[in-house]
Amino acid sequence: MRLMSGFEALRARMQELSHLDAILGLLSWDEETYAPPGGRASRGEHTATLEGIKHNKLSDPALGELIEAHLEDSAISIDERTMVARLKRTRDLAVKVPEPLVKALAAARSKSVDNWAKARSEDDYSRFAPHLQEVLGLTRERAQALGDGRPAYDALLDEFEPNATVAQLRPVFSQLRQELVPLLQEIVEAPNQPDVQFLKQSFEPSAQWDFTMTLLKDLGFDFENGRQDKSTHPFTGGAGPKDVRLTTRIEAHNPFNAIFSTIHECGHGLYEQGFDPAHFGTPLAAAPSMGIHESQSRLWENQVGRSRQFWQAYLPVLRTYFPKQLEGVDVDTFHRAVNHVRPSLIRTESDEVTYNLHILLRFELEQALLSGDLSVPDLPGAWRERMTADLGVEVPSDREGCLQDIHWAFGAIGYFPTYTLGNLFSAQIMAAYEREHPDVWQDISNKHFGPLLSWLRSSIHRRGYTDYAADIVQDVVGAPLSVTPFIDYLKGRFLPLYGR
């Protein structure tokens, strides 16, 4: 029996970790799709056991030694050295936070999420406040443990968006807000509002399902290595790039929900299916950041899926499923309904123009909560104030205000900005593609998605986590993170639709 070289041993450990991640992915998919109630209740324990095993594997000092031995190993390839560096990042996150804090945070999160759910359904912020306070305190400690002297928020943000900092994001986001508020104003005041009357009908769920399956096939989702199911909250998960599981949510009275969540998750799924097979089982078969992952879902959902050319191609298909409901609805009417802008209370139901205003609000408030500049009792008031200032809406209840999202309840601070990064990146990437491929809109009106997908595959998907997000964007777009392409895109699409 031949002994494994040091790097082979390290690679075997990477593979083992990737198998555990795949299994955890499947357990979580099952919990959201098919598990019976009793199974969901006991699943938490099973997952905790496996997470514990993974944590022990990651924090094993022998793994630390193998990593140190190969970080600068010139006998291995550049890709292999990058794998080692990525694994070091993951390991650092696992070992830097002391065990008692990990346990305290897990316990606090679990209580906090429970109470958040009850507080939301009862519209009783006071029930949630003490738990948020506790989770915030522990999250501050966690940020400190992760920090290496960095500001607390940056340490947290870095988990979701490696290398991003508040110093970098704040001016970009502030410019975005300055552009969005007047743009929204102009759209809202336009007399030429879309007609969404035809949506107020019932759309047979099984026909909606069939239509989403047609979309997935046409967009290039690979059913040999993936599938779609239904769940309460759509997500992309599964057991690695050979087994990508999308979910969608079907509502009889809102067909856009299933359609756009399917296209959105398809974007995530195409990304996961597009990693380089040579990277499978290593830390390189992953997105470099949540923002980049989100750029892929947003690009397909919005840039492609809400374009006039897309509906030129698909309204006739959708009509075969819903001839009665779509009687007399032409492409223009449909396209305007798809792009209905309306300031609203709930982030997940908001349109492309208002969406990022919801995020920017959260970005500011979560920084203030973390630093202590905003006290937990003052959160609801601050939320209302900002909603009025930015979106011009009155928040009638905390349920529709600061209690709407689950993120803070489990201490996921630093996650929200990645949604906006995804939107900005998606516009930059699509603009770059358009420059190189001016016939893109004709392709789309012919359901010819192959060229765009191939380009995304080679320029983004296959690279996986070989580089950080900023480097990938710079390479693909020829520029760093920027607001302009997104604003140009919004103006180009929405102002004509609203007759401006």
Binding site residues, a copy of itself, CB under 8 A: 15-16, 19-20, 22-23, 26-27, 30, 34-39, 41-43, 45-46, 49-50, 53, 222-227, 229, 238-240, 242-243
Phi then psi for residue 246, to 5 deg, are: -100, 155
Identify the CA nearest to 298 among candidates 427, 418, 480: 427
Closer of 56 and 178 to a copy of itself (Cβ): 56
**In sequence order, which ranges of 123-202 are alpha helices (DSSP H)?**
125-147, 152-160, 166-189
Exposure on the CB side of residue 331, measured as CA atoms within 13 A? 13
Closer of 28 and 344 to a copy of itself (Cβ): 28
CB-based contact 82:466 (threshold 8 Å)? yes
Sign of CA pseudo-dihedral 79, 84, 89, 94: positive
Closer of 14 and 67 to a copy of itself (Cβ): 14
Q: Give the alpha-carbon dihedral of 486, 411, 87, 458, to 10 degrees.
A: -20
- Cα distance between residue 133 and residue 370, in whole Å: 10
Distance set, CA 42 to CA 33, 109, 406 (Å): 15, 18, 22
SS3 category, 149: coil
Closer of 221 and 363 to a copy of itself (Cβ): 221
Closer of 70 and 245 to a copy of itself (Cβ): 245
Q: How is residue 378 written in tokens?
A: 């003052």
Smallest separation (angstroms) from a copy of itself to the CB of 131: 23
Closer of 53 and 107 to a copy of itself (Cβ): 53
Choose, from 134, 161, 265, 364, the residue flagged as catalytic.
265
Closer of 53 and 389 to a copy of itself (Cβ): 53
Smallest separation (angstroms) from a copy of itself to the CB of 30: 6
Beta bridge partners of 143: none
- Cα distance between residue 472 and residue 467, in whole Å: 6
- Cα distance between residue 271 and residue 287, in whole Å: 8
Closer of 15 and 446 to a copy of itself (Cβ): 15
Identify whether 80 is a catalytic site residue: no
Smallest separation (angstroms) from a copy of itself to the CB of 116: 25
Smallest separation (angstroms) from a copy of itself to the CB of 50: 6
Smallest separation (angstroms) from a copy of itself to the CB of 15: 8
DSSP codes of every residue in 365-410 = HHHHHHHTSS-GGGHHHHHHHHHHHHH------STTTTTS-SGGGG
Smallest separation (angstroms) from a copy of itself to the CB of 334: 33
User: What single letter denotes the amino acid at residue 231?
Assistant: S
User: What single letter denotes the amino acid at residue 207?
Assistant: A
Q: How is residue 363 written in tokens?
A: 């970005």
DSSP codes of every residue in 416-453 = HHHHHHHHHHHHHHHHHHHHH-TTHHHHHHTT--HHHH
Smallest separation (angstroms) from a copy of itself to the CB of 23: 5
Burial pattern 399-430, b for ≥16 Cβ within 10 A else e, equals: bbbbbbbeebbbbbbbbbbbbbbbbbbbbbbb
Smallest separation (angstroms) from a copy of itself to the CB of 450: 20
Residues designated as active site: 265
